[in-house]
Amino acid sequence: MTADRSSPTVIVSRTVDPANDDAFATWVAQLVNAAYRQSGYVDSFVQRPTSGHPDEWTVVYRFADAASLDAWLDSGERRELLAAGAHLVEGSAREQVLAGVPSDTEVRVVSSYRLVPRAEARHLMVHKRMLEALEQFPGFRSRELLDAVPGVQDETVVILTFDSPENLRRWLDSDDRNRILEDLDAITVGSLTTNVVGGFAGWFPGRSDSAEPPKWKQALVILAALFPVSLTVATLRQWLFPGLPLVPTVLVSNVIGIAVLTWLLMPTLTHALRDWLAR
């Protein structure tokens, strides 16, 4: 798999108190709309908190060239919006600027790090050992190695794609990965940054004869599945634990909702509606 290196991407992750989720969703929609109006904008998507990252929102923007991306990141409109939404965010945002990323697939982990000078050969050896381990790992689909590009991407980026969040989590927790991280530690400067990125792709597996379903169809199916789950969880919580504080309430509800959607409702709905989704 290859990526278009002339189409740079920025991945921005922010930690948000669950109590601010609704306000943050409104704010981030304004931010994405502003990016849409920027010259050179290609596409973007917003990933809400997941069970693995319960308080983290991730926004991915892609632009036609580095100049357009830089213009967006440095724009006055973006600075004003960031200032207006600062009270919704805990800590600093984490940004990764990539020279390019592959198209949306099931679920992927994006890792970036800065190599020490003249460590490229040693890094390739470490990367080869990682790939050998991954080829034996369940659910591994593909990898993309994006070397640092002066003036565009200062860090080396590795993108690994898996067929499901569960298999990705097994890799992230594996002894094989821990050994790779120990080897990387000797040839990198600073810390390793890791983001798990994925939209609805894991819930809407593509068919060999059709493209990914339109986003509006995906949203309708998810809403049809999510509403009864949310209503049921809220009713049970009020009945069983009426005094449960807000934060654990939101966390438990999200975990239960995502689990039911991922393993029960979404596979059933996408199978039943597969012909409509493919049209």
Residue 278 near residue 214 (C-beta atoms within 8 A) = no
What global pTM score does this model have?
A: 0.45
The phi and psi torsions of 260 (rounded to 5 degrees) equal -65, -40
Per-residue pLDDT of the chain (279 residues; tens, 9 = 90+): 333 444 677 888 888 988 988 899 889 989 988 998 898 888 787 878 765 567 888 888 888 887 888 888 889 999 999 999 999 998 888 777 766 554 444 677 878 888 888 888 899 999 999 999 998 898 898 887 877 766 656 678 888 888 887 888 889 889 999 899 889 888 988 766 666 655 444 555 544 334 456 656 766 777 677 767 777 877 777 777 777 665 566 566 666 766 676 667 776 777 777 777 666
User: Are the C-beta atoms of 102 and 3 separated by less than 8 Å?
Assistant: yes
Q: How far apart are CA 190 and CA 42, in angstroms?
A: 31
Does this chain's domain 9-98 share its CATH topology with 107-197?
yes
**Distances in whole angstroms, Cα of residue 76 to Cα of each of 38, 70, 104, 249:** 12, 12, 30, 38
What per-residue confidence (pLDDT) applies to 84?
92
Token reading at 9: 């991407």
- Domain boundary assignment for the chain: 9-98, 107-197, 215-278
Q: What pLDDT does 153 receive? A: 61
Q: What gap in Å lies between CA 38 and CA 18, rounded to an integer?
A: 30
189 backbone dihedrals φ, ψ, rounded to 5°: -115, 135
Could you tell me which of 6, 23, 124 has the C-alpha nearest to residue 69? 6
Output the CA–CA distances (angstroms, integers) from residue 166 to 10, 51, 87, 106, in the order listed.
Answer: 25, 11, 33, 11
In sign, the C-alpha dihedral spanning 132, 138, 141, 144 is negative
User: What whole-number distance in Å separates Cα of residue 140 and Cα of residue 149?
Assistant: 27
**9-98 in CATH: which number?**
3.30.70.100
Q: For domain 107-197, is the CATH number 3.30.70.100?
A: yes
Report the distance separating Cα 270 and Cα 189, nearest Å.
45
Q: How far apart are CA 42 and CA 62, in angstroms?
A: 5
Which pairs count as long-range contacts for 247-251, CB under 8 Å and 24+ apart, including other chains? Answer: 247/17, 247/18, 247/19, 250/18, 250/19, 250/21, 251/18, 251/54
